[in-house]
A and B are shown apart, each in its own frame.
Chain A
Amino acid sequence: DGGITQSPKYLFRKEGQNVTLSCEQNLNHDAMYWYRQDPGQGLRLIYYSQIVNDFQKGDIAEGYSVSREKKESFPLTVTSAQKNPTAFYLCASSTRQGNYGYTFGSGTRLTVV
């Protein structure tokens, strides 16, 4: 079955450490996205990629980095420069046009300890 997989589901990080969140899709979608969601709030766009080897900053890219070396994969690194990284992170994918909406992964809950 086609889908989008995020791992791990829960992640704990010490302050000052970088951590990478995985996102893999087998839907043959060109576009992939990373969103952050804080308690009681909507989704804020971190980075997005419409094609392999290309990505764009979203609204809150500071302290984050991404790569898109393969169509299926769009990992997100939360760096030590991100001041408040504790949040729920959602990865999504879509056709390049995006007009069929997004398919979301199940999310990764990151907690800084």
Chain B
Amino acid sequence: GQNIDQPTEMTATEGAIVQINCTYQTSGFNGLFWYQQHAGEAPTFLSYNVLDGLEEKGRFSSFLSRSKGYSYLLLKELQMKDSASYLCAVYSSASKIIFGSGTRLSIRP
């Protein structure tokens, strides 16, 4: 079966660092995406990991371990505008991406 797990909600403080974890069990794996979604809006692309290791892009970094079926998204120097849902998604087979339920991140001043 297909299963992607991530925490439902997280809270962090402005200026701090937060790590959002994602574990997956899918039939086939070709890569893992992270998307950001503000309430009532479409998801926007953050990162794509194909190989094991850490990919850094500004304040956001994403890590992948294929052997463990595990990924995390690391957000540094948190800003209020980072309050959003973060979706972990696995590219499991040709033209099919499976999405997790998302983690709703709240940033407090």
Given contacts A43-B99, A98-B96, 15 further A-B contacts (CB under 8 A): A40-B104, A42-B101, A43-B87, A48-B96, A96-B94, A98-B94, A98-B95, A100-B48, A102-B43, A104-B44, A106-B42, A107-B40, A107-B41, A107-B42, A109-B40
Can you list, as one digit per residue, whether each of A42-61 has a CB less than 8 Å from chain B (1) or not (0)?
Answer: 11010010100000000000
- Asked if residues A97 and B94 are in contact (CB atoms below 8 Å), the reply is yes
Main secondary structure of the interface of B (DSSP, over half): strand
Interface SS of chain A: loop
* Docked complex: B49-108 residues within 8 A CB-CB of A: 87, 91, 94-102, 104
Q: Which of B42, B101, B102 has its CB near the most chain A CB atoms (within 10 A)?
A: B42
When distances are taken between beta carbons in the complex, the residues of chain A under 8 Å from B30 are: 99
* Cβ–Cβ contact A97 & B95, under 8 A: yes
Interface residues of A (CB under 8 A from B): 31, 35, 40-43, 45, 48, 50, 88, 90, 94, 96-102, 104-107, 109
B interface list, Cβ under 8 A from A: 8, 30-31, 33, 35, 40-45, 48, 87, 91, 94-102, 104
B31→A99 contact, CB < 8 A: yes
CB distance from B29 to the nearest CB of A (A): 12
